[in-house]
Amino acid sequence: MEKPNALTYFRGEHRYNCAQAVLKAYASLAGLGDPCLERFSQFGGGRAPNGECGALFAAKAILQETAAKRKTEEEFIRAAGSNKCRAIRKAQTFTCAQCVQTAADAVFLRLDDGHILQRPIECVS
């Protein structure tokens, strides 16, 4: 499988935020449609639960196994310095685009390890 490029969706033609861009990159694999992407519009810009980075929140939302979510978060924190949007932005050492790329790359690595994707609970009606 070729690694999807979440950055093409981040603030591109459709103006997706960080959370939506990560979801869109894996939408076909996770069976996600536009209604799910629209729901994740509320999780960008530091508005994910507990102030978590929206890109990381989306990455964890589509990963099924707890271990995969944990490993993704650990890798993200190692790269960005925090899992909190406000702290990342305040440090000014890691951009939102880098957050999107890092989160999307982590999902790709989990898939390569044999983990599977799921529909986020936020998208289950």
DSSP per-residue string spanning 58-77: HHHHHB-SHHHHHHHHHHHH
The position carrying tokens 């909190």 is: 84
State phi, psi for 117 to the nearest 5 degrees. Answer: -100, 160
Encoded tokens for 25: 């990159």
CA-to-CA distance for 48 and 9, rounded, in angstroms?
Answer: 19
Residues of the chain with pLDDT under 70: none
pLDDT at position 15: 86
pLDDT at position 104: 98
pLDDT at position 91: 97
pLDDT at position 124: 84
pLDDT at position 1: 81
- Calculate Rg over the CA atoms of the chain: 13
pLDDT at position 11: 81
